[in-house]
Structure 1
Amino acid sequence: MNKKTAAPVTVIGLGLMGQALAGAFLKAGHPTTVWNRTASKAGRLVAEGARLAPTVGEALKAGSLTVICVTDYQAMHELLGAGDIELDGTTLINLTSGDSAQAREAAQWAEQRGAHYLDGAIMAIPPAIGTAEAVILNSGPQPDFEAQESTLEALGTVTYLGADHGLASLYDVAGLAMMWSVLNAWLQGTALLRTAGVDAATYAPFARQIAAGVAEWLPGYAEQIDSGSFPAEVSALETEARAMAHLIEESETLGVNAELPKLIKAMADRSIAAGHGGEQYPVLIGEFVKPRDT
């Protein structure tokens, strides 16, 4: 992209991720202004062509888009809420980690001050920023997103989720739930196989095959959840519960921690007790959507 035509951007917050974001904009040819409480963190970026703004207010004025990536939402409010900060007409995309309620509150706060506000989440590590592997989730008014989409593409694969500002945060934690669940299941299996002298590297290809196979079930299972009908086309939940009991027994016999399978079996047992034993596994959604009694 030609620097003469590329939109100017501002990046506020220069932790490892903020530096990666600013670096990606620079590489894509965007005139890039940066600001950080500790100005020394901007040294490398300035050497690469970024402009270091002396104040947050000056940084906001420099870019047609301001990307915020700071410690938390409180830090964002402290930085942008000062009396001398002018937000009217500014376009903000907040890539700070937080929850959906904070995102919606921040959107209302920013819009009351005349700003166009998008909330986002980064599904990537800093070295991946600027590549297709970096997924940048966005939520907020679609016209505001479309106006900035071509600029944001410098960061990676840009995805628009919808008008609800909380969606990016929700997708973020839903993605983390998937990641940790897959990894925890793999660790459980690795612990079991190590008792027989099978190392993690030997087990990993088989585990990957299983994970990929299970992923293929998701669209069909999603249809069951969305329709509220769970016919046992493959296996009934009560059959799955017997397999869970076998996993627990094998783990305990081998001296492997069984807390994780016990937790899942307890949820299955509650669903079976409620009369769902003859239905298919996605019927467990009923246990996930309600808080556990305390």
Structure 2
Amino acid sequence: MQQSKASVTVIGLGPMGQAMAGAFLDAGHAVTVWNRTAARADELVARGAELAADAEAAVAANELVVLSLTDYDAVFAVLESVEAAVAGRVFANLSSDTPERARRAARWLAERGAAQLTGGVQVPPSGIGSPESSTFYSGPVEAFQRHRAALEVLTGADYRGDDPGLAQLYYQIQMDLFWSSMSGYLHATAVAEANGISAEQFRPYAVSTASLVPGMIEFYAPRIAAGNHAGDVDRMAMVLASIDHVRHTAEASGVDGAIPAVLAETVRRAVEAGDGASSLTSLVGRFRKA
């Protein structure tokens, strides 16, 4: 496709960065790339990308600079090495870390005449380039609006507000739910396999149980928001008994019982504090206090 759209720089060419640079090329953008290991750019260069001589040249090449790095240690290492070139640039920082580190990077850039749009990408590299995919963004709204069309080449854009930490906060709470859920699935699969039930045999039952979760979230979220933790649907004492049964089953199967043991201990403390007749949702308040 003839390159006729706004040019963009992509720094960081792991699988995600390569997918992003490729999506920009496919959409007709002129793309400058840079990575510490230059060979990672070979395929992109063959497709028409420009490989910058160094990180400073990559930043200087375009107003919009997309950062796709492992964490903010890597982000700060790059930013500090290109300090002289950041003024006037907009950094779409799509690297993962904590909300506070996102705010720190945004302050650092603002003090030097640049802007940061924090991003939290909600899909793996295979989802880049799909409008059905989504990325959380936060930061200066003017910068977001100016570069929205380019950013939407990568995924749909869900703007969360001007606080640069908000996109990372939304991303991390999604990851909190995701990794906890996946760990539970993998633990259950280990117990199944320890008892001669294959992952394939377990699959339809795992899917069936997982499919209950959206409805439970829809039911419980308004109650949590209202501070309603009545034990009319579930009771903490019964939850504790159930989790203990899971832990005992796992350990009797020769499977590490650490995950259900942590859950049981958390619920046990709540029961001992007097919440045995309340819903499991009352843990939200206890987590906040902790």
Please, what is the CA RMSD of the aligned residues?
2.2
Q: Following the alignment from structure 1 to structure 2, what is the Cα–Cα distance between the partners of residues 40 and 192?
A: 43
Provide the residue aligned with 1:64 in structure 2. Answer: 63
Go from structure 1 to structure 2 and tell me whether the alpha carbon gap of 1:56 and 1:227 turns closer, same or farther (over 3 Å shift).
Answer: same
How far is 1:3 from its partner? 3.2
Shift of residue 2, structure 1, vs aligned partner: 6.6
Q: Which residue of 1 aligns with 2:135?
A: 136
Moved more, 266-275 or 82-91: 82-91
1:7–1:64 Cα contact (<8 Å) kept = no
In the aligned structure 2, how far is the partner of 1:45 from the partner of 1:246? 53
Q: 1:165 to 1:279 in 2, by over 3 A?
A: same
- Aligned residue in 1 for 2:202: 203
Contact 1:267 1:287 (C-alpha < 8 Å) held by counterparts: no
Tell me the equivalent position of 2:10: 11
The 1-side partners of 2:46 and 2:192 are apart by: 51
Q: In structure 2, the residue corresponding to 1:248 is in which secondary structure?
A: helix
Residue identity in the other structure for 1:283: S
Task: Check whether the contact 1:32–1:50 (CA below 8 A) recurs between aligned residues.
Answer: yes
Report the 3-state secondary structure (helix = DSSP H, G, I; strand = E; otherwise coil) of the residue aligned with 1:137.
strand
Paired with 2:12 and 2:191, the residues of 1 have a C-alpha distance of 44
TM (norm. structure 2) is 0.90
Q: In the alignment, which residue of structure 2 is the partner of 1:104?
A: 103
Question: What secondary structure sits across from 1:267 in the alignment?
Answer: helix
Between the aligned partners of 2:212 and 2:287, the Cα distance in structure 1 is: 23
Q: Cα offset for 1:151? A: 0.7
Distance in 2 separating the partners of 1:256 and 1:71: 32
The reply to whether residue 238 of structure 1 matches residue 222 of structure 2 is no
Residue type of the alignment partner of 2:103 = R
Q: What is the match of residue 283 of structure 1? A: 282
CA distance in 1, matches of 2:170, 2:159: 11
Unaligned 5+ segments in structure 1 are none
Gap runs ≥5 in structure 2: none
Q: Please name the residue that 1:186 is paired with.
A: 185
Secondary structure of 2:32's match?
strand
Q: Distance in 1 between matches of 2:158 and 2:99?
A: 17
- CA separation in 1, counterparts of 2:130 and 2:168? 21
- Equivalent positions of 1:1-150 (< 5 A) are 3-4=3-4, 6-82=5-81, 85-132=84-131, 134-150=133-149
Cα 1:238–1:53, aligned 2, differ >3 Å: closer, same or farther?
A: same
- Which deviates more from structure 2 when the two are superposed, residues 136-145 or residues 21-30? 136-145
Amino acid corresponding to residue 285 of structure 2 in structure 1: G
